[in-house]
Amino acid sequence: MSNIQNLKSFDPFADSGDVETQPTNYIHIRIQQRNGRKTLTTVTGVPEEYDLKKILKVLKKDFACNGNIAKDPEVGSVIQLQGDQRLKVMQFLVKQLGMQKKNIKIHGF
């Protein structure tokens, strides 16, 4: 039992709550090939506080493509869009939703 009060006051390894130090919550934008030349863009890791349905609605209109929201037990809600919309999605996330580019990872070729 340590009764030294000084040592208890500050834990240097405690979670500071600083977002900068938690790079785990990336937004991943991926691409998958479907049959033929068709592709599918998936967006995972969008924070829960955003209304995905509203985002999807805007994206579908902006990019003139179809899309839907899938539920995944591991990563939660996923936005799926038809075609390769990766760059456009990233621009949207950065410009319209004010997300930081370094927290977005684009995968694929």
Site residues for another protein per CB under 8 A:
28, 30-35, 37, 40, 42, 44, 70, 72, 74-75, 78, 80, 107-109
Closer to another protein by Cβ: residue 44 or 85: 44
Residue 26 identity: Y
| Shortest Å distance, C-beta 12 to another protein | 20
Q: Residue 77 in contact with residue 107, Cβ under 8 Å?
A: no
| Shortest Å distance, C-beta 76 to another protein | 9
For residue 38, give the 3-state DSSP assignment. coil
Cβ of 79: how many Cβ atoms within 10 Å?
Answer: 22
